[in-house]
Amino acid sequence: MVKRYGIFLIGLTFMSFGIVLIIKSALGTSPISSVPYVLSLALPFTVGQFNFVVSSLMFILQPIILHSKFEWVQILQVPMTFIFCAFIDLFMYILSWLHPQAYYQHILVLLIGCVFMGLGVTCQLLGRVVMLPGEGLVNAIATHWKLDFGKIKVIFDWSLVAIAAVISLYYFGTIEGIREGTLVSAFATGMLVKFFMNMLLKIRIKRIDKLRQQCKINKMRTQS
């Protein structure tokens, strides 16, 4: 159990670092953080603070949708989200010096951010502790209405982007925080998670095969 929570916390660290790198690329932010980021541009609060507010609303909706099917262990989403949002603000402070100049530098920072996002999501899946409120709300919708999680996740993410765009137009009269990087991070993160999970599966299979071979060798030695 301790190991699982440790892996999950490592995942939160990687994911928050990845989100901040994507923001610092200045090519748009990831869909899940688009609303908090645009709000942070318009109002005197941090990305992490707005992320916690938005995530809290997502958490509140889950028991409303699921009713008796809501698993109260999921209340751990709240402290985990607090840690996650604190990491975001911490990395925003640490990387305050990072301002890419050339376009290739923007792209490089974006791609590195996507890699960390992918690693973060992979660690969270391996930890199997709780979901963050964004995924938790998607899971609640998919469970209650018996819909495909993956399809609802895509619709949910782009709905957040649309809401962020409306907020941006209201405050600035133009689109801020949503660019080509938003599209890249949306697709690249999913692909990277799949890649990392497949890679870990292959490593696990190799270890199992190695253990089987070792068992056979030990058995032959005992028989001889």
pLDDT beyond 80 at 133: yes
Select from 32, 18, 16 the least CA-distant residue to 178: 32
Select from 182, 162, 168, 154 the least CA-distant residue to 31: 182
Tell me if residue 192 falls in helix, strand or coil. Answer: helix
- Work out the pLDDT band at 147, boundaries 50, 70, 90: confident
> What DSSP string runs through 144-158?
HTT--HHHHHHHHHH
- Region 159-168 average pLDDT: 94
User: Residue 219's pLDDT is what?
Assistant: 63
pLDDT digits (tens, 9 = 90+) for 1-17: 778 888 889 999 999 99
pLDDT digits (tens, 9 = 90+) for 15-56: 999 999 999 999 999 998 999 999 999 999 999 999 999 999
- Work out the pLDDT band at 186, boundaries 50, 70, 90: confident
Provide the residue ranges of all domains of the chain, joining segments of one domain with +: 2-223
- Residue type (1 letter), 53: V
User: Residue 102's pLDDT is what?
Assistant: 94
Give the predicted TM-score (pTM) of the model: 0.86
Instruction: Name the one residue in this structure whose structure tokens are 């973060």.
Output: 120
Across 49-58, 103-112, 145-154, least confident range: 145-154
User: Residue 36's pLDDT is what?
Assistant: 95
pLDDT digits (tens, 9 = 90+) for 190-201: 888 888 888 888
Tell me if residue 96 falls in helix, strand or coil. Answer: coil
- Work out the pLDDT band at 79, boundaries 50, 70, 90: very high
Total H helices, total E strands in the chain: 8, 0
Tokens of 87: 């990491």
Quote the distance between the C-alpha of residue 189 and its chain's center.
9
> What DSSP string runs through 31-99?
GGGHHHHHHHHHSSS-HHHHHHHHHHHHHHHHHHHHGGG--GGGGGHHHHHHHHHHHHHHHHHHTTT--
Tokens of 121: 């999501």
pLDDT beyond 80 at 221: no
- Region 145-174 average pLDDT: 91
User: Residue 215's pLDDT is what?
Assistant: 66
